[in-house]
Chain A
Amino acid sequence: MIRIKREICTGCEICISSCPYGAIEMVEDRAFITEMCNLCRACLSACPVGAIIETEESRLPTTDSRLMDFSGVWVFAEQRRGKLHDVSLELLGEGRRLANILSTELSAVLIGSNIEKEAKTLIAYGADKVFVADDPSLSDFHDDSYGHILAGLIEKEKPEIILSGATSIGRSFIPKVAARLRTGLTADCTRLGLDGKILHQIRPAFGGNIMAVVICPNRRPQIATVRPRVFKKPIPEKGRKGKVIKVHVPEDISLRTKTLEFVKDLTSTVNISEADVIIAGGRGLGDAKNFRLLEELAEALGGAIGASRAAVDAGWISYPHQIGQTGMTVSPRLYIACGISGAVQHLVGMQSSDIIVAINKDPDAPIFKVATYSIVGDALEVIPLLVKKIKEVRG
């Protein structure tokens, strides 16, 4: 519980605005915490006189001897249609780093059909062991079968840390696994650290306006999903030695879902969650055919196409391209916003990009506040010039 020590509180009201849930009110000139409190602890550091305290009675004891039984770092090696997802290789690099600090082993878990050959790749990228569940019944991803196998393996092998990509697949079945094991899960991490054996899981919250350090001190394993492209792929070491362990795939996994087909979205050659470069267009482009200009720029730069909600709602491009609060969150190396005003709902989906270029007619457009490079001008004029210059430079 968060409590206010009335005898210390000076009634300065500073804490009131520090609470994201509006849970602090003044009662008889002293701060008071209402039922709105979410125990997020944001107010603790706000109080200049230390009158806000956290009473510990509600927390579990932090030393549970059973936690010692868990060791090893695992990476869920995601594949689709037999191809390993880059995020899995990126996570092997980070997993290796954590395993070395903990002086423990790094393992990968590979689930699918006809994929055993990929175990070698995972070992080259840093895995000491690869658990392989290879069976024709696992060719399509299903929450039931993948969840059942991963949860079963975890119960048997007791790893202390599990990392998965924060992809459509990872974000779907990893929560199921965490709920089955009754342990914590931190979604969409952008950085990881260790404090002793406790994993510090750092992630954006409130639309990227705030970063939070999340821990799971009393349960194991500690599970995190990590966004693609957060970590660098390590350099593979050909001929690196590792163990491949075949996992028994039970015949009777109840599958309550069935995949009839996969339909590829023809408008996206590169998907935006993994692209290094994103060219995004908004209402300022005027109509659907001007999105063709973006494609030329995307081609010149090897990037993917993104869009603001206004452009999606106008039907100029499909929803999977939408970036922002009700679309995708991206953080490419380069984000070029063309004819996008920079409404907060858009900014929260792209403001963590490394370099932002904004092209807008209106010098006061809010997008310029987050832009590394600003070009005030007509996008329909600027983009062709940009394409031309890029081609020149590239030769």
Chain B
Amino acid sequence: MNIIVCIKQVPDTSEVRINPETNTLIREGVPSIVNPFDMYAIEEGLRIKEMIGGKVTAISMGPPQALEALKEAFSLGVDEVILISDRAFAGSDTLATSYTLSKAIEKIGLFDIILCGKQAIDGDTAQVGPELAEHLGIPFVTSVKKIDEIREGYLRVHRMMEDGYDVIETRPPALLTVVKEINEPRPPSLKRKIQAKNLQVPVWRKEDLDVDEKRLGLKGSPTQVLRIFPPEIKGERKILEGNLEEQIYKLVSELKGLGIL
């Protein structure tokens, strides 16, 4: 099986904050990481390969620094990595990103399974996977928590829903977006980590892809961020006085007063 894993390098969002006075982001020293959901996608790709054979290719679209994410994927065991990077791709929203990725995947050619994370933690959109599948004209299943069976021409997965899961059958080539429950990612191997250091990561630029320029980057992005602002701080902090029992009594009466009880 030829497996392609799409990974994104993201700022560790838990550390991004907004300065309420200037409405600008405070990013001091926020590290870049591989999007956590994509780590599960990488692991699942490796497991499929180990089970039935094949090749795993990790691709990422982003600025030159994104090659760090690809090196991390390599140290985990993927066979090949490709960076898709060009100034013309800057400012891409999910539509332009998925279009560009689809063109890179068409260039790779043969594939059976594409794995994406359920969502990227910077934008949390969960749109790139399904949009990518649509551009490629292949079926997809989102929020996959288990690959039940996979073989040549057959795929059965569990799709997580709010109140349970659907068991779904499809045929490769197909795209899956995965959630955390699907596996437990392995640690990188030391040997591959060392190899990754000196790895020459191929970079595909605009000219390397058969793309319509109007559909790239900012020009090809129908959505725009108009402005950003800090979230409202909800409710004030209330002090509960007295011993434990009194505090609990106070809490319950407050909740009652708020109409929750």
- Contacting pair B27 A209 (CB below 8 A): no
A6 at interface by CB-CB < 8 Å: no
**CA of A393 to CA of B255 in the docked complex: distance in angstroms?**
11
- Contacting pair B163 A264 (CB below 8 A): yes
Interface residues of B in 1-42 (CB under 8 A from A): 11, 13-19, 22-28, 30, 32, 36-37
A248-277 toward B: CB 8 Å interface, digit per residue (1/0)? Answer: 000000001111111111001001011011
- Contacting pair B252 A386 (CB below 8 A): yes
- Contacting pair B122 A206 (CB below 8 A): yes
- Contacting pair B27 A20 (CB below 8 A): yes
Report chain B residues within 8 Å CB of A18: 19, 22, 24-27
Report chain A residues within 8 Å CB of B235: 354-355, 372
Q: Which single member of A59, A207, A382 contacts B121 (CB below 8 Å)?
A: A207
**CA of A388 to CA of B195 in the docked complex: distance in angstroms?**
61
Q: What 8 new A-B contacts, CB under 8 Å, besides A200-B226, A209-B17, A256-B170? A: A39-B90, A41-B227, A43-B24, A46-B24, A143-B140, A175-B94, A372-B238, A393-B252
- Contacting pair A326 B36 (CB below 8 A): yes
Q: Which single member of B65, B127, B158 contacts A185 (CB below 8 Å)?
A: B127
Report chain A residues within 8 Å CB of B251: 357, 373, 375, 386
**CA of A373 to CA of B138 in the docked complex: distance in angstroms?**
50
Report chain A residues within 8 Å CB of B217: 58
The chain A residues found within 8 Å of chain B, CB to CB, are 1, 17-23, 34-43, 45-46, 58-60, 140, 143-144, 147, 167-168, 171-173, 175-176, 178-180, 182-188, 200, 204-219, 256-265, 268, 271, 273-274, 276-277, 301, 318-320, 322, 325-327, 329, 333-334, 344-345, 347-348, 352-355, 357, 371-375, 377, 381-382, 385-386, 389-390, 393-394
Report chain A residues within 8 Å CB of B227: 41, 45, 212-213
Chain A binder among B67-75, B76-84, B103-111, B242-250: B242-250
- The number of residues on chain B lying at the interface, defined by a beta carbon within 8 Å of a beta carbon of chain A, is 103
- Contacting pair B225 A40 (CB below 8 A): yes
- Contacting pair A271 B244 (CB below 8 A): no
- Contacting pair B219 A45 (CB below 8 A): no
Looking across the interface, which residue of chain B has its beta carbon closest to that of A324?
Answer: B14
- Contacting pair B87 A35 (CB below 8 A): yes
**CA of A335 to CA of B243 in the docked complex: distance in angstroms?**
22
- Contacting pair B13 A271 (CB below 8 A): no
Looking at the assembled complex, report how far the CB atom of A199 sits from the nearest CB atom of chain B, in whole angstroms.
11
Looking across the interface, which residue of chain A has its beta carbon closest to that of B31?
Answer: A22
Interface residues of B in 183-235 (CB under 8 A from A): 217-219, 221-231, 234-235
B52 at interface by CB-CB < 8 Å: no
B60 at interface by CB-CB < 8 Å: no
The listed residue with most A CB atoms (<10 A of its CB), out of B15, B180, B253, is: B180
Closest 10 A/B residue pairs (Cβ): A39-B91, A184-B222, A344-B14, A256-B139, A184-B223, A18-B24, A175-B130, A179-B131, A179-B134, A319-B181
**CA of A344 to CA of B238 in the docked complex: distance in angstroms?**
22
**CA of A216 to CA of B95 in the docked complex: distance in angstroms?**
12
**CA of A268 to CA of B165 in the docked complex: distance in angstroms?**
12
- Contacting pair B36 A261 (CB below 8 A): no
Looking across the interface, which residue of chain A has its beta carbon closest to that of B127?
Answer: A175
B179 at interface by CB-CB < 8 Å: yes
Looking at the assembled complex, report how far the CB atom of A131 sits from the nearest CB atom of chain B, in whole angstroms.
22
Report chain A residues within 8 Å CB of B93: 184
B160 at interface by CB-CB < 8 Å: yes
Q: A39-B218, A257-B170, A301-B261 are in contact. Are A325 and B231 (CB under 8 A)?
A: no
Report chain A residues within 8 Å CB of B249: 389
Report chain A residues within 8 Å CB of B22: 18, 45-46
- Contacting pair A260 B240 (CB below 8 A): no
B50 at interface by CB-CB < 8 Å: no
**CA of A348 to CA of B56 in the docked complex: distance in angstroms?**
32
**CA of A353 to CA of B160 in the docked complex: distance in angstroms?**
24
**CA of A140 to CA of B84 in the docked complex: distance in angstroms?**
37
- Contacting pair B142 A206 (CB below 8 A): no
**CA of A258 to CA of B154 in the docked complex: distance in angstroms?**
12
Q: Which single member of A20, A171, A262, A357 contacts B126 (CB below 8 Å)?
A: A171
Report chain A residues within 8 Å CB of B140: 143, 176
**CA of A22 to CA of B217 in the docked complex: distance in angstroms?**
19
**CA of A259 to CA of B30 in the docked complex: distance in angstroms?**
42
Give 5 A-B contacts (CB < 8 Å), ordered by A residue: A180-B134, A209-B13, A271-B162, A319-B181, A354-B235
- Contacting pair B130 A172 (CB below 8 A): yes
Q: Which single member of A42, A262, A372 contacts B161 (CB below 8 Å)?
A: A262
- Contacting pair A209 B135 (CB below 8 A): no
- Contacting pair B125 A168 (CB below 8 A): no
- Contacting pair B168 A205 (CB below 8 A): no
**CA of A182 to CA of B96 in the docked complex: distance in angstroms?**
9
B139-166 toward A: CB 8 Å interface, digit per residue (1/0)? Answer: 1111101000000000010111111111
- Contacting pair A334 B222 (CB below 8 A): no
Report chain B residues within 8 Å CB of A348: 13-14
Looking at the assembled complex, report how far the CB atom of A346 sits from the nearest CB atom of chain B, in whole angstroms.
9
